[in-house]
């Protein structure tokens, strides 16, 4: 399992570097668009295990529009309008589908959750990339979250004795969580010296801790969804990791947290 994770990481790093650092933001937006389509598909597939039938096509189309709107706000930045129109469209499509009416509420609700959980949360990465020093902050985000995952795995597997949250994720440990915090701080400090714009030492540590904590919560939320659906992984696209959601679950929560930090700093 570990060697598959390492190989997957080695293969992904050059792509990530080129798309994020060397190319214009439109290329990163395209990468996010692909990830959102695959991620929403994985999420809706999980929901099928509960005998709920979300609207795959309309959900993924709306998710794609959310991604594109994050890059180019053709709705004029009216996020409330986009969300309201999306929900209304999902309900209208469900109204005329040839399905039993008794599952309509669940179908609509989970279709919209797929848009929010995957597309909207993913799109914060695009907004970060488009901001001031965007590529530096985006790479910082990825490196800190990756370090958090590695720290949790490296410390939690051999030394984990105290369970962090058994109800949702029996394998996660307090020791692994501490390892995640330490690794996140270490990586953040390396990034601060290596390529980041001017940022204070205390702020660097504070942001790293915030991302590690929020990222862990995002990981637990996806574990909650998988446990509720009775599946081990969201998909099998990435060897050693599972699906897109298994690899990006921490990032889904960490990216909005970093975005709001950057708006107030």
State pLDDT tens for residues 87-116. Answer: 899 999 999 988 888 889 999 999 999 999
Q: What is the pLDDT of residue 176?
A: 93
* CA distance between the termini of the chain: 40
Count of residues for the chain? 265
Does the pTM exceed 0.75? yes
State pLDDT tens for residues 184-236. Answer: 999 999 999 999 999 999 999 999 999 999 999 999 999 999 888 888 877 76
Range of the domain at 228: 2-264
| C-alpha 89, offset from chain centre | 25
Number of domains in the chain: 1
User: Is 167 buried (19+), middle (13-18) or exposed (0-12) by CB count in 10 A?
Assistant: exposed
State pLDDT tens for residues 110-146. Answer: 999 999 999 999 999 999 999 999 999 999 999 999 9
Identify the bridge partners of residue 173 per DSSP, sorted by sequence position.
163
Q: What is the pLDDT of residue 252?
A: 95
Q: Answer whether residue 175 shows pLDDT above 90.
A: yes
Q: What is the pLDDT of residue 2?
A: 47
């Amino acid at each position: 399992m570990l060697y598959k994770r390492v190989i997957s990481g080695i293969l992904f790093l050059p792509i990530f570097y080129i798309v994020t650092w060397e190319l214009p933001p439109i290329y990163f937006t395209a990468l996010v668009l692909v990830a959102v389509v695959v991620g929403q598909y994985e999420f809706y597939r999980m929901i099928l295990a509960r005998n709920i039938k979300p609207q795959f096509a309309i959900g993924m189309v709306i998710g794609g529009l959310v991604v594109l709107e994050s890059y180019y706000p053709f709705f004029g930045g009216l996020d409330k309008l986009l969300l309201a129109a999306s929900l209304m469209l999902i309900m209208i499509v469900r109204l005329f589908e040839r399905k039993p009416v008794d599952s309509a509420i669940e179908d609509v609700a989970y279709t919209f959750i797929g848009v929010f959980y995957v597309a909207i949360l993913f799109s914060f990465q695009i907004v970060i990339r488009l901001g001031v020093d965007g590529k530096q902050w985006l790479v910082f985000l990825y490196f800190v979250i990756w370090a958090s995952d590695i720290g949790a795995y490296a410390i939690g597997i051999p030394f984990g004795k105290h369970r962090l949250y058994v109800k949702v994720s029996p394998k996660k440990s307090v020791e692994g969580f501490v390892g995640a915090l330490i690794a996140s701080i270490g990586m953040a400090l390396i990034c601060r010296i290596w390529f980041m714009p001017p940022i204070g030492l205390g702020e660097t540590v504070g942001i790293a801790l915030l991302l590690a904590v929020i990222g862990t919560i995002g990981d637990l939320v996806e574990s909650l969804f998988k446990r509720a659906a009775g599946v081990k992984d969201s998909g099998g696209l990435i060897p050693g990791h599972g699906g897109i959601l298994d690899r990006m679950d921490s990032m889904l929560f960490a990216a909005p947290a970093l975005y709001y930090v950057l708006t107030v700093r």
